[in-house]
Amino acid sequence: MGKAVVVTDENFEEEVLRSNLPVMVDFWAPWCSPCKAIAPLIDELASEYGGRLKVAKADVQESQMAATRHRITSIPAILLFKDGRVVDEVIGTVAVDELRARVDLALGLTP
């Protein structure tokens, strides 16, 4: 448990929108340096929240329809989904503590 899943246009609905768990989706691209910089953070959170949060990575080149549908115009972009709806989004790089706090809020782990 605790490993990010790869999502594409083909499996986005199944893996993200129909998930029984809240989902954090990292929209990224291989040519994006800031995306590469936060990749270890995404992996860390996948391990930390295993079983409580599904972590997914969506390459915007492979997931163009999903990126367009969710109005991704800048990357990295992290969207938090709960019950198939976006409950929070983070655009650009972010500190691990801030992202963790936002995940906790989305999961209902903070007052």
For the question of residue 35 being annotated catalytic, the response is yes
Distance CA 76, CA 57 (A): 11
Exactly one of 16, 23, 25, 35 is catalytic; which is it?
A: 35
Exactly one of 5, 21, 29, 32 is catalytic; which is it?
A: 32
For the question of residue 32 being annotated catalytic, the response is yes
Burial of 96 (0-12, 13-18, 19+ CB in 10 A): middle
How many domains does the chain contain in total? 1
Whichever domain contains 72, its CATH number is 3.40.30.10
- Give residue 96's pLDDT band: very low, low, confident or very high (50, 70, 90): confident
pLDDT of 1 strictly over 60: no
Stretch among 26-30, 68-72, 93-97, 106-110 having the lowest mean pLDDT:
106-110
| CA neighbor of 52 nearest in space, from 91, 82, 89 | 82
Q: Which residues form the domain of 90?
A: 5-107
